[in-house]
A and B are shown apart, each in its own frame.
Chain A
């Protein structure tokens, strides 16, 4: 277990408030609850999905990039309804429109593509810009009405003239009817041709061009459902090796699979599992060991897992234990029973790497989020709050008092607001810009520059 000293100073990054998106009022409409956040590969675009099935894409302004080092702001680029609520008549079940995940495809041409998924259906969206339109048709007026053929005496060639920028989102593919259980992950392969989708019991491999079939590559459904002991909680392709992917389970294990080994990857190539600490055993040990997110590092040598109380970094070459373990909010360990009562123990926190894999970030309660610096062995707790919303205001480190005498500026565990949870965070692939989603607001923080 890596020991950490908390504190600032030295070469630490100081985070400043940049922007906040979303409604200010406390009365949150359920449809506005943010359910996923993702930067694209260049970091220029930032997509969010919400419970209402909408996708909002923000674009970083490039105009004043040359001015000072303060990075430009993100403004709304496109908003569209990705998924609608559906009803499965056969099973009499409602299918939620909530966007579970968004994944960007690497850019190949002028248009941008992303995959968005709800519980059952994945869609490929094309986002394209239109800033010119053809004018001077022979048979039509400018407003579209057909001209009277008798009045046409000359021919002209229509020309493109500039127009106000319009961003269009259109669904190019719909990948449906392949999942019996709820989809929890999608991951685009490094080959840029295929992607995987994972539900509780199965993982399917798709070709981006083909919607009427997919290959099942993992199936952990037991013949007798009564024997079910674990489910798949997340899955991801390796960033460089197109034959490798991992999936995590509700039992705290991660399996690495090689698609070259066999068509059905039920036998893992590697199994990552840390033996349980017997002194920590409780009624809730099973629940808190369930992995809620797994992410490969950008360099492909490590992967990070998030369970309820900790973040673990695994070296792909070492299966028997993680190389680093960070406690996110250990002070909650004694509160597990209450957290079980209010269902917070089932919250699925995500985690993310920074561009050079030196720092990892994850969310917590009370709108706190944690930055865990691997190289400097430091950690800091920050808060996304409307109180610290002055432009370029530096975020002050927060401290939670687990017990005993509460120091000034510390907050006691019992004062934490468990309704304010940060489940989704994203880090710009190249710069120190982070997007942190509270219930219905998106905060953007940037590194302080002197």
Chain B
């Protein structure tokens, strides 16, 4: 399901980009439909991604220590499996982290701004602006996907992990 979601997300992004070069100017209707599909796919993909990350976290060998047994018992009340709400919250957090990461974002924004002025996109087509910012994010994310292996050593993975509140980490172990 998430493989499909990722494919549709990538497809949507490339279609959104190609819309800009089309004769006759931007088609608002199509951009809207593409953005909606892209977001739906992205949400599914992220959800699946986070679920996978959570699973991996649980799988990470963490020898049950007598010293931490007490804290484990206390936090046993909190659910082992992530509820959709928690997933949604987690989904928010990595995003915020990326947005705070201005240094990395600036370069792409500047680049995209330059591109925008060349094609002189009408300023009030903001949904596309948003989609574009998202797509830049997605592009980074996807590129990151391609480059990194799945052993969780990439910095993006680290960002995701550091965003987790500590008690959850304990639960996972």
Contact = CB atoms under 8 A, between A and B. Distances in A.
Contacts of A94: 23-25
Interface residues on A, range: 20 to 34
Interface in B120-136: 120, 122, 124-127, 129-130
A346 B30 contact: yes
A73 interface: no
Interface in B91-144: 119-120, 122, 124-127, 129-130
Contact of B11 (A88, A93, A340): A340
B33 interface: yes
Nearest to B41: A283
Given A92-B119, A94-B24, A284-B37, A231 B29 contact: yes
B59 to A, nearest CB: 29
Contacts of A332: none
Nearest to B124: A225
Given A95-B24, A283-B37, A231 B32 contact: yes
Interface residues on B, range: 20 to 34
A50 interface: no
Interface string B7-39: 010010001000000011111111011001100
A88 B119 CA distance: 12
A132 B29 CA distance: 49
A286 B127 contact: no
Given A94-B23, A225-B124, A200 B29 contact: yes
Contacts of A96: 23-24
A181 interface: yes
Contacts of A250: 29, 32-33
A91 B32 contact: no
A4 interface: no
Interface in A350-401: none
A148 interface: no
B163 interface: no
B4 to A, nearest CB: 8
Of B23, B41, B44, B119, most buried by chain A (CB within 10 Å of CB) is B23
Contacts of B44: 283
Contacts of A283: 4-5, 8, 37, 40-41, 44
A201 interface: yes
B28 A181 contact: yes
Interface of A: 88, 91-96, 98, 119, 180-182, 200-201, 224-226, 228-231, 233, 250, 283-284, 286-287, 290, 337, 340-341, 343, 346
10 closest A-B pairs by beta carbon, nearest first, are: A225-B126, A92-B120, A96-B24, A93-B25, A200-B28, A231-B29, A287-B33, A228-B127, A226-B126, A286-B36
Given A230-B32, A283-B5, 12 more contacts: A91-B25, A93-B26, A94-B25, A180-B122, A182-B29, A225-B125, A226-B129, A250-B32, A283-B8, A284-B37, A340-B11, A340-B37
